[in-house]
Structure 1
Amino acid sequence: MGTGDTAVELSPFDLEALCIASATEDQLFGFDLPDAITSPNSLINITGSSTDAGDQVTSHRAYSSAKSSTFSSAEIPPLARSRIGYAITQLKLAPRMMVENNSTLWCHAMLYDEHMPRSLQDAHASCALYNARNDINTDFVARHIANRIDELISAPLPTEAIEIMARAHALMLYQVMLFFGSDVRCFSQAEVLVCRLVEVGNLLLDISAQQTDPINALLLYPSAAVRAAWKSFLFRETLRRTVLSLFQFVAFCHLLRGQSGPCTDGLSQGNRVTLSAHLWSASNAFGFAVAWNERPHFLVHNLDFTDVLKDAQPDDIDNFGKTMLVSLQGIDDVKGWFYMKSGTF
């Protein structure tokens, strides 16, 4: 098992690392982004999506109250483009992944097998409608999603950990639909959700700090202990992936507004996440135990991926791991690492 003890200098999930460079921070973490990032389509364009010129102007006016000039995706420096484009592409896939697989990059498909809280049930149904949008039903779908969001944010914060996580997953899915649904009427509601995401993200940070990691091999018999270890892993690692993905998404939201967001120290100091495609993709407790005992897995401390880059093989890295590595190093470097390890990105 690989571990790292030192925080890396360039943290892909440090909010400041993804925010706008100020006059005194001209190349903050290599992004060197212009001051005029105010269009909600700026980051959408990075992924190659086409947008109508008129919609760009309308979107800009709806979403930015401080700037008057639109931002062209051509102005984004290549390094910044290579670090954030892949993550945004993965975010945009989340509603379809949730409907088709009951999962996202940050949420394991088996987490809600026994019980899916109502907040996420509503978001799940909204994702299905969102995926089925057409010229006829677009307005109905938009109203439905907006109503479900209003219901969610008006409900009191839950106190049980699984309910808090479900609320975070629902908010993230709604925010993806608002941001990337190309409906300018949604941007004001998306702005409200940023604060809600931070609120629930801070609760998850506290829960994450209480998690412990087993280090011993798992006995395959009796199976009750293996099932308990698997369920614990599903919760623990979904929690950690959710925290990282949520605050990265918040950073993108600030980036769209042309604002610098406050850092969240818990993301870079004391943070842990396990990277192992074999553990994450295990479909049952037995498969999980075999992967735990026989395959390498990397407990990443403080977002330091040194041991991962040194010792991991391409098949150890799932899409979440790819997203983290690309956010840190840029897609060309990560593709190069895969190639040097005889893998394909």
Structure 2
Amino acid sequence: MSTIEDVARLAGLSRTTVSRVINNHPYVSIEKKQLVISAMNQLGYVPNSAARSLRNQKTGMLAVLIPRITNPFFSQLIESMEIEASDKGYQLIVCQTRYSKKKELTYLNLLKTKQVDGVIMASIQNDWELIEGYLQYGPIILCNEEDENATVPVIHVNQEYGGYIAAKHLVDQGHQRIAFSCRSLQSKVAKKREVGFLKALKEADLTFDENFAFRDAASIQDGKEVFHRIREMKDKPSAIFSSGDEVAAGIISEARRYGWRIPEDLAVIGFDNQAIAELMQPTISTVHQPIQQMASIALATLVDRLHSKKFHLRQDHILTVELVIRESTVSQNNVQLVEGDLQAQG
């Protein structure tokens, strides 16, 4: 019996490309599709996911829980996961929780009712003790989000270090009055980033002014509102660390609309290294997260747990973050000089 590897070999393409053709992935050229179809016809290869599902008593479906699909970070994470899932013979269901505890539990019930084989949680709203009960129905993986009580694989970056290097960069540029924004301290990710942020300030003997804390910002519009709150202050910060590039973009766009110079009047650094960070004028300094690597490890780990049946087993994959210096914190003429200094230090 022919396999997908046989089709890939005959077509002269990768197994990933063949998988994408079989699963109707939109980003495959017509030429490659024709090569795959021709090879399948020659070999008599017919994918039969329904028969395979019945034989293994599996749905072939995986669910990923995210808070907001409009957030470019989660959109990119989902895209990377979908490609990985397709390559492994699975389909991905995207479940948007909107930060709702009730919705999160509703989607976890997909595992309980055998509508999906496994779940990836990119955010957590409920306490782990409540989530853990669902492990009797199948594997759960944490990706991006982390919980110290979790008894499952956790794929994440060192969020605290990310907040630290962002704040230290601003300190190194001579800033002493530095603001901080995040979505909500209900988010464990935001908490970790603020811990790192405060650590950098403490090392520099700087005291954080609580008036500079904006803990309710998640979107571009929120960023615009943060700017107006700063603009109305008598004693303004000279820089701000936003734990998201969307908010940073909103701050910068509104600041420029009011004639503020970035970074001279207000330096801004974000987090995630989303595409918008390079498209803005000025470009946005940020902290890069390895999203594709995160997605790849998450899918591989979930599939491994499906096969091993070891659902209750902690395993940490901590990925590195990197500081990306652009024009929103360093004037255009000095960006290369600062990057050179960082490379020399490394």
**What TM-score comes out, normalization by structure 1 length?**
0.27
Q: Please identify which structure carries the higher strand content.
A: 2
Q: Which has the larger radius of gyration?
A: 2
State the structure with bigger RCO (CA 8 A, min sep 6), 1 or 2: 1
TM-score, scaled to structure 2: 0.27
